[in-house]
Amino acid sequence: MQIAANTRLYGLFGYPLGHTLSPSMHNAALESCGIDAVYLALSVPPEKLAGAMEGLRAFMGGANVTVPHKVSVIPFLDGLTEVAEAVGAVNTIFWEGDRLLGDNTDAPAFRETLRDVDLVGKKALILGAGGAAKAVVHALRQAGIGKISLAARHPDPKAFPLCDLVFFEKEALAPLLKEVDLVVNATPLGLPKNPESPLSREQLATLRDGALVYDLIYTPTSLLSMARERGILVRDGSGMLARQAALSFRRWTGRDCADFFEKSLASRV
């Protein structure tokens, strides 16, 4: 890869970033498509977000956004896509003419990974209340889910008006775990810097037969490891990562490289 004065810049805004597969996947796709551009992981603490957005407007072709900026970045944009507006969170920033817009590719990516699962009328429990949880709620609603419960340390009815909110506490979760068909971990618990599981072995043991545990984290986690030990159906976030990356890439370049991203991710995880 050669970087010159005309090389287009894309990147990932987040803090703290730690290890991320996004640069390697996007750079491989850019090179494969013969696009003169580079994708970088850019550590942007909350107090530097305004400056980073000024830099994006001046120098960049677009960006992905992750924790903790998926909601706080919205005021810096000129508008939102219909999906991002409905979700209330942004993970992709792109240009449409001279307007800088926000999109959410997390929601359709999550939905796509569950196309083979009948969710109509079913019950789901989401752990976490950040931008990723917002995308999951939207996707599940689109899929015809019957009921969504959401557990958070500080549940906010205004942020999740269509969900049954509970505190992220053992006693509050106990009755829900016995009745839900799907559990989604949308918290940072399970990442290398926070390796503990959001649910214990004892809690997982109370899940009904046929329940599915979905962890949005794409690397191995203790949650999925313990669930597998009990014979529970599991899915990790690798498929969602590849699909949302492909959708972002299409926003920036107009190229459809979904298969490339899935194969690229499989070789890196």
User: Do 181 and 198 sit in the same domain of this protein?
Assistant: yes
Q: Please report the pLDDT score of residue 29 as a whole number.
A: 94
Which segments of the chain are extended strands (E)? 8-14, 37-43, 60-65, 79-80, 92-96, 99-103, 123-127, 147-152, 164-167, 182-185, 212-215, 233-235
Residue 91 forms part of a structural domain: yes
pLDDT bracket for residue 245 (50, 70, 90): very high
* Judgement on whether residues 194 and 263 belong to the same structural domain of the protein: no
Q: The domain containing residue 190 runs over which residues?
A: 108-235
Span 205-231, average pLDDT: 97
Positions annotated as catalytic residues are: 70
- Determine the pLDDT at residue 177: 98
- 138 inside domain: yes
In a domain, 3, yes or no: no
Domain count, the chain: 2
CATH code, 41: 3.40.50.10860
Convert the pLDDT of each residue in 127-184 to its tens digit.
999 999 999 999 999 999 999 999 999 989 999 998 999 999 999 999 999 999 999 9
Report pLDDT digits (tens) over 61-113: 999 999 999 999 999 999 999 999 999 999 999 999 999 999 999 999 999 99
Contacts of 85 (CB under 8 A, 6+ apart): none
Query: Within this chain, do residues 207 and 245 fall inside the same structural domain, yes or no?
Result: no
Q: Look over the chain and give the mean of its residue pLDDT values, rounded to a whole number.
A: 95
In the predicted model, what is the mean pLDDT of residues 179-201?
96
Please indicate, yes or no, whether residues 187 and 245 belong to a single structural domain of this protein: no
pLDDT (average), residues 52-69: 97
First to last CA, the chain: 22
In this structure, are 117 and 204 located in the same domain? yes
Does one domain contain both 150 and 183?
Answer: yes
Provide the pLDDT for residue 265: 73
* Bridge partner residues of 256 (DSSP): none
Same domain for 48 and 133? no
- Please indicate, yes or no, if residue 256 is contained in any of the structural domains: yes
Q: Residue 248: what residue type? A: S
Indicate whether 10 pLDDT > 80.
yes
> According to the model, what pLDDT value does residue 269 have?
58
